[in-house]
A and B are shown apart, each in its own frame.
Chain A
Amino acid sequence: MALLEVKDLQVYYGMIQALKGISFEVGQGEVIALIGANGAGKTTTLHAVTGLLPKKAGMVTLGGKDITKIPPHKIVEMGMAHVPEGRRVFAHLSVYQNLKMGAYIRREKEEFSHSLEMVYQKFPRLKERRNQPAGTLSGGEQQMLAMGRALMSQPKILLMDEPSMGLSPIFVNEIFKIIEEVSAAGTTVLLVEQNAKKALSIADRAYVLETGNIVLSGNAGELLNDESIKKAYLGE
């Protein structure tokens, strides 16, 4: 049984249908990439899965439990963490306070220090800047903070929305290296990316979204060599 299962998901913005009934699944321990052009519905999909957007139809299950109508804060408690597009760090709070917010659902003090240790180890830069307001960090550092914050809740599945957006190639490589580490440590990853090449290079499987429909899916390595994908998304 898949850890996350999405069946015939439909989402509307007013009268406009943004998702036209998409289905996909993310197995335990997999890294799944959701790729597609701007406006294809990638972010909408993540928002609907985490409950930030209402769903018109369809069903979402996490670990076999129906979460279609569960509010976002409860879904987080069930083990899903979402690193939103644009990072959305708490700009006026310090790096440390941001990480503390990430552990909001973890009440145990020991668990908190353990997670904090783990995040600081993964992102030494965050430790250096722990007392600095998050809004003063560079884009790449903010992305690291957003990831670190999500990991503080010790999620079973990590949803990441465009982690490479606006970052220099060095930061992009670093972020993707850490995604691989997180995955190796046993966390399931659902990755939304415009940088299809990068996403496919670390994913196990991928789905291609086009104007609210999944048009293609398969093994990431195969998609990387698919002629139509190369043409449309890899710029080759």
Chain B
Amino acid sequence: MSFLSYLINGVSLGSVYAIIALGYTMVYGIAKMLNFAHGDIIMVGGYAAFLAMVNAGLSPLIGVLVSIVVCTLLGVVIERIAYKPLRMAPPLAVLITAIGVSYFLQNLALLLFGADTKTFKSVISFKGISLAGGALQISGVTIVTIAACIVIVVGLSLFINKTRAGQAMLAVSEDRGAAQLMGINVNKTIALTFAIGSALAAIAGVLLCSAYPSLNPYTGAMPGIKAFVAAVFGGIGSVPGAMVGGILLGIIEILAKAYISSQLADAIVFAMLIIILLVKPTGIFGKKIQEKV
């Protein structure tokens, strides 16, 4: 029974990774950049919800909405100010800028909110369920997190495949120049991608802080990197890849913590990445079509 419980926790943690990885993978696929500040958006999302609920006394639902709005705006503003001017710059310049934005957000949070760790109040009041006569306990956060991940992945897939804006994203991710020639506004499409990715980061931030209730300026850094690993694991640029990669990573991490060593868990996670990349460099769902020339 404990194995099953670990597995469920793994899926839940993995669902958070998956939601973050979706943002990573979409931005990579469409803007062709690794947004290393993505993890710190999670932290901002956590603080936004925390301030709304604790300082302003708003309800958890409003707290989540505030967090989504703040992060969406932040994502769009960061893209506009920091990344858009570098559209024609070499990838390395963009990468370094992203790392700079990451440090900027962390230090801004340090300045505004202090270095002390805040205790986050879970946004989920639902107590969870008890199965097998109490032998298997599943918390409310776990259930909501998994459900949120499923809803987001399904919603995002529908959005990409069924809407005009989604089609534009698909075209830009394939070939930016050709997409322009179809009449697609590339700048608008990239901005929208950042908006969606950041909104997802806000949701991930609130869920993460609800499950692991400590919030400080570095809260987003590690989950951000792990989600990046998840995105690469699944095949960066691929939406199903981000989900599968995230969930696998969560399961591996929790099982490694439970059965091998909690200190070594992260090392095992990163070792898995190295192995996957050695065996299949494009990741699990990585696209590679033999193109005729």
The minimal Cβ–Cβ distance linking B239 to chain A, given in whole angstroms, is 13
Chain A to chain B contacts (Cβ below 8 Å), 16 pairs: A52-B177, A72-B180, A73-B182, A76-B180, A82-B181, A84-B177, A84-B181, A88-B175, A90-B170, A90-B175, A92-B174, A92-B287, A101-B171, A133-B289, A136-B289, A149-B182
Question: Contact: A50 with B170, CB < 8 Å?
Answer: no
Closest CB pairs A-B (n = 7): A76-B183, A105-B183, A88-B178, A90-B174, A72-B180, A135-B291, A135-B289
A91 at the interface (CB under 8 A from B): yes
Instruction: Tell me the complex Cα distance, A72–B244, Å.
Output: 37
Report the bound CA distance from A19 to B5 in whole Å: 68
Q: Does A139 contact B (CB under 8 A)?
A: yes
| CB–CB B182/A136 < 8 A | no
Measured CB to CB, the residues of B under 8 A from A are 164, 167-168, 170-171, 174-175, 177-186, 287, 289-293
B184 touches A73 (CB 8 A): yes
Q: How far, in angstroms, from A102 to B175 measured CA to CA in the complex? A: 13
Q: Which of B181, B183, B291 has the most CB of A within 10 A?
A: B181
Contact call A73/B186, Cβ cutoff below 8 A? yes
Given A72-B180, A104-B182, A166-B293, 18 more pairs with CB closer than 8 A: A52-B177, A52-B181, A71-B180, A72-B181, A73-B182, A73-B184, A73-B185, A77-B183, A88-B175, A88-B181, A90-B178, A91-B291, A92-B174, A93-B170, A101-B179, A101-B184, A104-B167, A137-B292
**Per-position 1/0 for A79-103, Cβ under 8 A of B:** 0011010001111110001001110
Do B180 and A104 have beta carbons less than 8 Å apart?
A: no
Determine whether A138 belongs to the interface, using a CB cutoff of 8 Å to chain B.
yes
Q: How large is the interface on A (under 10, 10 to 19, 20 to 34, 35 or more residues)?
A: 35 or more
Contact A76 B181 (CB under 8 A): yes
A153 CB within 8 Å of chain B: yes
Task: Out of B168, B177, B183, B289, name the residue touching A153 (CB < 8 Å).
Answer: B183
Closest-by-CB residue of B relative to A106 is B183
Query: How far is A107 from B287 in the complex, measured between Cα atoms in Å?
Result: 30
Q: Given A52-B177, A104-B183 in contact, is the A92-B167 Cβ separation under 8 Å? A: no
Separation of A139 and B292 alpha carbons in the complex (Å): 7
B292 pairs with A73, CB closer than 8 A: no
Give residues 121-140 of A contacting B (CB, 8 Å): 133, 135-139
For the complex, what is the distance from the CA of A51 to the CA of B27, rounded to whole Å?
25
Residues from chain B with a CB closer than 8 A to the CB of A136 are: 289-292
Which residues of the partner chain A approach B186 to less than 8 Å between Cβ atoms? 73
Contact with B along A148-164 (1 / 0, CB 8 A): 01100100000000000
